[in-house]
Amino acid sequence: MPTTHRARPSRGKPPLDAEALWAIKRIGAPTLSTDGQLACAPVTSYDMDRNVGSTELWLFPTGAASGASRAANKARRLTAGDKDSDPRWSPDGRHIAFTAKRKDDAEAQVYLIAPDGGEATRLTSLSTGATAVKWFPDGKRIAFVSWVWRDLDGDAAQAKRLKSRKDDKVKAHVSERGEYRYWDHWLTDGREPHVFVCDVATGRCRDLLAGTGLALQPWEPTPDHYDISPDGRELALTIDPNVEPAMMNRADIAVVDLKSGRWRNLTADSGMSDEHPCYSPDGRYIAWHAYDTERSYNDQGHLRVIERKSGKVAVIAPAFDRATQHLQWTPDSRALLSLVEDRGRVGLWRHPLSNELPTQLVAGGVISGFARSADGRVLAYARDSAMHPPALFAAQGDGSGERQIESMNRALLARHALGEVREFTVKGWHGEPVQMFVTYPPRFEARKKWPLMHSIHGGPHAAHHDGWHYRWNGQVFAGQGYVVAAVNYHGSSGFGQKFLETITGRYGEKELADTEAGTDFLLRQGCIDRERLMATGGSYGGFMVAYMNGHTDRYRAYVCHAGCYDWVAMMATDGYRFFAKELGAFHWDDEPRVMRQSPHHYVKNAKTPTLVIHGELDYRVPATQGLQYYNTLKAKGVAARLVYFPDENHWILKPQNSRLWYREFFAWLTAHGGAARGGSSAGAKAKRR
């Protein structure tokens, strides 16, 4: 059923702008105390003038306690560090572990703090740092990930080599690896991510993978990539069994005996790419995600469970045609909890081990992280929507009795006018239905004519959600007077595997038809000025506006952020091996097929003014893609402007850079027919002509 978020009363209030967006306190995923009475979550605040952010840990009562004092029902700050992140409550409830990089730390370390306050104490002091923290079930040890050289024994040797590399005047990268950089950093120093354990009482740390030849995949591993058995004797982790790691390789689940160091590959014969192991509380099972990458490189995966004693493997709900994320077991070991993306929303679902279908416990918006109490009676989660940034909620274990447990952004949001958000289904390519979210200006009047802005999502196997986006915020766009269309075109995630694969080997064609269908649909509503149509997008969305520029001139202006422009030159990306699967061939094997999907092949038809934005540290869509597109438009005499960030990657993450990004974004659209903060009446339009 289509959903509408109604606009709030907005008389006299300014719309949301980039300054207000960066004043919002950004709340992260919670962790719960054992009894479920308190949630701890990171809260990030930004200082625009200083151009920095700081993250603190806060405690929030969940409302689960009865007869609690008034003071106990108030949120309170727990830490005052600059970078206190990723809290994890201990099994006995006595400590919260987190990672922080404080004034004496060269790298992030593990810290401990008591939930009743006091000073945090540093637990680790490793030269290679610590991330992805996870408690051992006994509460006496903590696991974490650190990037180390396999051939060195002990932290002193690691520290010595780190210092030598830092002091070396030569900074060249030398490699024979097929994939030598990832996202925004290089992978050529020879280090790999290992799982460590630290004894809480003594602070002694040990590399659990030393001498095993194993490592986690080198793609920024998280706590989801490894787990510890309930008896603390075994470690399960996601590995790449190949000699050389690669993003297209199949992954496996390995289990390591922590006393002997012996290990075995649990899923070597599964025929799947297996990731994210998760032990059941009773120790009987391990669950994980299995992806059939041999059949389809973009397989959304399914859940599998192995009975550890017998080795019997079962597929959980094989007919469930949606992707799952962030697995947790229920305390009785009879079901799994996960986040599920479904038709533009991400909810919290329960997956029984029986043949029952999964059921949704908590609906999205977008739930970005969740935790449960030890007895399963309390859930806490962060959820956002198109009308609200992430906020913390708590509920009973079955999802009932939901209540918001923090209000950090309430006063700020109340000072601004937000626009209504509506959901539509339109007939896209060949009349097939596609979803579209539309955000209207705060004081929208249907009798006026408004400029249209398409916000085209990246991916391509991602989606627009009924959610809050800090880099492409629909409310900030609408606040400038645009009707903002967000189409979940063919290939978007959350609509099943078949829909996900519909664009493979034929990029651009169906997505363009779906976008155009959204335009036509809104024009038929009578509120859109057909002379003020704009289209914007980032990453694959940037690819789309570059592709559109060679296929239609109905739009007055484009914004291409970090866009893929030339699929041949995109061989410089960190993920180039995907292309044979994405495009259906490498260009040397089937050049015509690749050219049909490449915007640069159609650029001779490009006429529409384009703002090109790119970051130097973007290794996913290399910065030369933006420069190549910009130079080509200039050579053709097409109006173009370049905004180039030497200190940003695929995203714009610094406050002042983001402010400039929004300023340039709106100025470009306004200069080419857009209108800041307002529609025009039919009479005014006639007079303008």
Domain CATH for 525 = 3.40.50.1820
- Asked if residue 340 belongs to a domain, the reply is no
The CA–CA distances, whole Å, from 242 to 89, 213, 250, 252, 569 equal 35, 11, 8, 10, 28
Domain CATH for 209 = 2.120.10.30
Q: Residues 405-415: pLDDT tens digits? A: 999 999 999 99
Q: Residues 649-663: pLDDT tens digits? A: 999 999 999 999 999
Q: Residues 173-190: pLDDT tens digits? A: 999 999 999 999 999 999
Contact 38, 32 (CB under 8 A): yes
Shared-domain flag, residues 422 and 311: no
Amino acid 81: pLDDT = 82
Shared-domain flag, residues 522 and 664: yes
Cβ neighbours for 191, distance < 8 A, ≥ 6 positions apart: 128, 147, 148, 149
Shared-domain flag, residues 279 and 424: no
Shared-domain flag, residues 558 and 443: yes
* Mean pLDDT computed over every residue of the chain: 95
- Asked if residue 4 belongs to a domain, the reply is no
Q: Residues 300-318: pLDDT tens digits? A: 999 999 999 999 999 999 9
Q: What is the mean pLDDT of residues 112-124?
A: 95
Tell me how many domains the chain contains.
Answer: 2
> Both tokens of residue 13?
């209030």
Residue 106's identity, in one-letter code, is A
Amino acid 685: pLDDT = 46
Shared-domain flag, residues 446 and 582: yes
Shared-domain flag, residues 299 and 448: no
Contact 483, 451 (CB under 8 A): yes
Q: Provide the CA 193 distance to its chain's centre, in angstroms.
A: 21
> Both tokens of residue 76?
């309170």
Q: Which of 265, 284, 316 is the last residue of a domain?
A: 316
- Asked if residue 49 belongs to a domain, the reply is no
Shared-domain flag, residues 144 and 284: yes
- Asked if residue 661 belongs to a domain, the reply is yes
**296: domain range?**
125-163+177-316
Shared-domain flag, residues 300 and 433: no
Q: Which of 316, 350, 384 is the last residue of a domain?
A: 316
CA distance 389 to 43: 12
Q: Which of 316, 343, 362 is the last residue of a domain?
A: 316
Across 94-126, b (16+ Cβ under 10 Å) vs e yields ebbbbbbbeeebebbbbbbbebeeeebeebbbb
Shared-domain flag, residues 426 and 310: no
Residue 8 reports pLDDT greater than 70: no
Shared-domain flag, residues 653 and 538: yes
- What is the number of other CB atoms lying within 10 angstroms of the CB of residue 529? 20
